[in-house]
Structure 1
Amino acid sequence: VEHPGRVGLAFEPTPDRAVTEVRGALWLDESTSELQTLEVTYTELPGKVVDERAGATVEFMKIPSGAWIVQRWQARTPLIHLRVRGNPVEGARRQEAVVSGFQDIGGEILEITASNGSKIYPATLAHLTGSVFDSTKAQPLVGAHVVIAGTDFWTSTDRNGEFHLAVPLEGEYTVSFAHPWLDSIGVDSPEITARLARERTDTVVVTIPHAMTVAAQLCGTAPSRQDLRVVVGRVAGSDHEAVSGALVTASWQEIVPDDERFTVRDMQQVGETDDSGFYVLCGLPVGRPLSIAADHRRRKSRTANVIFPRIAEGDLLHAWDRHPDQAYSSSFPAPPPIWMVDLDMGIDDKSATSTVSQAVLSGLVADRASGQGLEGVAVSLNGSESVVSRKDGTFDLVAAPWVRGTNTVSLRRNGYRDWVQELWIDESEAAVTISVLLEPTEVIALEPIEVSATALQYLDEVGFSERRERGLGRFMDRAGIESRLGAARDIGHLLTAIPGVIIVTDGRDGMSGTLLRVTGMPSGPGVGCAAPKLFVDDRHIPFDTFGSLAQVVQPEDVLGIEIYRSPSEMPAKYGGAESGCGVVLIWTNQRNRRPF
């Protein structure tokens, strides 16, 4: 290799040396005779392999004291293996050595500091910044492990899901992300490519797919948000090793109408663990007590008794296990529809038996006069915390304390007489089903009371309604969104229903090539706008493709949309240098699950 402006002192092994050696040159500055670099390549590699890509480079640096030190060095050694060529039938076979890869090692001085604390030399570094957004939880992913593959450089995301790495690297590298939450639900950690250069910053954005997308991947079909829950988990043995091939069964009962009466039907869902002990159960109901257990070669796990509550959509859900020997955290946070239950083989459930145990009390409560199921009836056993009957009059009281013998059941609802009865429960009975008809109380007519109230709506709080009244920008409220939900496959297609928003396809395959644009903005090769500035629930989201946005926001979650094309239209707080291509504001019902 020639280096203009330098003088090289070459060296090589003596001709009679038949072992692996190096040859190369020591390069000096032609005008000052100062050391510059040392470059070497290998000779006499095994099998007479010749590959100029293997070798080493050493760079020297002079410090103010006059001493010379190694500033940076890098060595690449080949990995060689023997490959057999020829026809084994004819016996004409020969071996040849080939290079199957390389091993790179090296080092660099990042900083030199004098004894008085002053910096003598700072290295120039490449910077990698970015953020990780977890769409399964609709929030930034905190504590994600960010690693530059093939190196020892890593960091973790902060409370905003953001990270920064300053590294002495140049070139194209794979950046991987890992997080215990992703591993627990069986989501492969994403990998992206970063192009690093010294004194430059490369910024990347990683999005973990939406919970509905993950559930579809786990179950092979698009789930229904209203009535589906997915349970994932791992089965481990008494030695904490993963159990492969275990059958995991979820069992529950459903009360179904049969002519003029209700019958109880036993239901089951079965899954099998993979080599890592991971299992998936799909299509589990809400509002019903479920028993989940694993079976492997006549060995059984402890039984996890769980119930998925019927609560308002958008709230952060928690699965709980009423088993006395809790084997997993009862406060494990998971958004609908994904939950986690780990199972351990070999736990003896008989140890949980005691005089005072816990029961599941299920049943149906109806109006005696009409026979219709009653909603809102408070049901309790032995004065325990009550549950409320559902719209169809059914109820499930889980983890209620009971004793062998006489127990007291009470049902109460405004407008009906209290129902209090003694109930005999045998020790062998862990689940009890009852049917009750409540007697309406006498109705007393009262003077009408006029009540007026104004609900403080979320869209009013964020200024949506006020800005719409001003007539600047384009708006779509919840009513307009609901009228288009059937035709909107994703958030991108919902946005295009608003005048002034268009889809532009740049010819690439898939949704990643479908871009969001606001009309009236200049465009064309080398000029114009890349994408409008996007805010979701008042947080700036740096996504410009439908493919990325669709993983963060689902159409059914959207409460309102605002589109602004020019700075004269848009509110001052959303303006700035990046708003020249327009601003899109999206307000969702997921705001309470976001930490911002």
Structure 2
Amino acid sequence: MGDEPGVPRYEPRRTRRACIVFSFFPSLFLVAPAGPVLGQEDGCKDLPSLQVTVVDASGNIPIPGAMLVVHWSDVEETPLRETVGAEGRFLLCAPQDAKEAVLWAELGDDSSEQATVALAPGEVREVELRVLLAEVRRGRLIGRVYDALTERQVATAAVSVTGHAPDAASNRQGRFILSDVRPGVRHMEVRRIGYAPLRYRIDVTPGVTTEVDIGLVPTPVEMEPIVATVARLRRLEIKGFYERKYWGELTGNGYFFSPEYIERWRPSNVRFLVVSNVPGITWRSARNRRMGAGFSNLTCKMSIIVDGFSWGGWPNIPGSQLAGVEVYKGPATLPAEFGGSDARCGAIVIWTK
């Protein structure tokens, strides 16, 4: 796993036991939004769709404000993180080619179990996610499987953990998710035809998502497999930092500084971290030379956001207080949640501990 900004990387999430109920019925809706979007009142027409309800353990009390997390198993789309409505409901139009979704609900440090739902064009899948509070915390494993020689993703690899059922299979991007894993030292096993099987001892932390990078060795090559793990900071996970980091680095949009990178580099403050690592950012003020109206001697002021709030200039935040930093050098690469009239030259997004 790379520690440098601009290189794809991963990092933890919490989980709780919960019950999941889902069914499907033909769509009666009339509108066809393009791509994964929030469902509209008249539906998603020919697109697959999800009607999700988040409730308590009894199934009788809706939980408004819970965070819905959706990963697409077979299409290259950014995972969704959205807050459900006042009645605990959320309608989502899936990407046109999506065949499967993996989803769960989070409420603070608690979570439902994950549901894996098959999708079909023009059909609505109804999913009920039950969040169980005050239960024994479990852990979650999320990661990818790749070829240790070519570094290409490996699909359909079987990933299992002792004491956990069922197994998971890596998708077309080599990614997998195992939720509701008992905490403690567990044995993870990864198998795929054409590769030497891997068995690895992994420490599962209660309430935390651990990212695992697994490099399988093709047979009959003789070399050690590659395994790297890192625990995600819950605060950054809730804010969607890790999803933006993964997809931003995959597409080359943005610079990202993880907790591990910050800890290793130990910058004196956030300004030193950004200016020293991101080309074109000026020292005195957060200005981007590359966005200066086409003239090399002009600069354009970037938006600065600290823990979700706009900031007038460089904040005086020491490196020891930094949890993560995101830098977007133009409006084309800027996620919608950080957009606005003051962000036409990009944004520096800072998360503190």
TM-score scaled by length of structure 2: 0.41
- Which has more strand, going by share of residues? 1
Q: Which has the higher contact order (CA 8 A, sep 6+)?
A: 2
Larger Rg: 1
